[in-house]
Amino acid sequence: MKILTTSNLKKHFPIRSGVFLQVTGYVKALEKVNFAISEGETIGIVGESGCGKSTLGKTIVKIYEPTDGKITYFDPSGQSHDITKSLPRKVKATFRKDLQMIFQNPFDSLDPRMTVKDIIKEPIDTHRLFDNEKSKDEYIRELLNKVGLDTEYAGRYPHEFSGGQRQRIAIARSISVRPRLLICDEPTSALDVSVQSQIINLLKEIQRETNMAFIFISHNLDVVYHMSDRILVMYLGNIVESAPSTSLFGKPTHPYTKALMSAIPSWNPTKRKLDKVKLEGEPPSPINPPSGCPFHPRCQYRLEICDKIKPEPIEVSEGHFSSCHLYAKQ
Which residue ranges make up the site for another protein (CB under 8 A)?
A: 58, 61, 63, 92-93, 95-97, 99-101, 103-105, 108-113, 122-123, 126-127, 157, 159, 170, 173-174, 177
Minimum CB separation from another protein for residue 63, in Å? 6
Contact 189, 49 (CB under 8 A): no
CA distances from 326 to 118, 165, 281, 301, 305 (A): 54, 46, 22, 8, 10
Minimum CB separation from another protein for residue 177, in Å? 7
Minimum CB separation from another protein for residue 101, in Å? 5
**Residue closer to another protein (CB basis): 159 or 271:** 159
**SS3 breakdown of the chain: % helix, strand, coil, rounded to 5?**
35, 25, 40
Minimum CB separation from another protein for residue 157, in Å? 5
From CA 168, how far away is CA 210, in angstroms rounded? 17
Q: In the beta sheet, which residues pair with residue 231?
A: 44, 243
Minimum CB separation from another protein for residue 277, in Å? 35
Contact 296, 306 (CB under 8 A): yes
Minimum CB separation from another protein for residue 297, in Å? 32
**Residue closer to another protein (CB basis): 130 or 157:** 157
Q: Which residues touch 262 (CB under 8 Å, ≥6 apart)? A: 273, 274, 275, 276, 277, 278
Give the largest Cα separation in the chain, rounded: 69
**Residue closer to another protein (CB basis): 121 or 230:** 121
**Residue closer to another protein (CB basis): 216 or 235:** 216
Amino acid at 275: D
**Residue closer to another protein (CB basis): 219 or 226:** 219
Q: Which of 317, 316, 295 is nearest to 306 (CA)?
A: 295
The string of DSSP letters for 171-205 reads: HHHHHTT--SEEEEESTTTTS-HHHHHHHHHHHHH
Minimum CB separation from another protein for residue 153, in Å? 15
Burial of 254-277, coded b for 16+ CB within 10 Å and e otherwise, reads bbbbbbbbbeeeeeeeeeeeeeeb
**Residue closer to another protein (CB basis): 206 or 261:** 206
**Residue closer to another protein (CB basis): 30 or 101:** 101
Minimum CB separation from another protein for residue 46, in Å? 21
From CA 304, how far away is CA 215, in angstroms rounded? 36
Q: Which residues touch 193 (CB under 8 Å, ≥6 apart)? A: none
**Residue closer to another protein (CB basis): 101 or 199:** 101
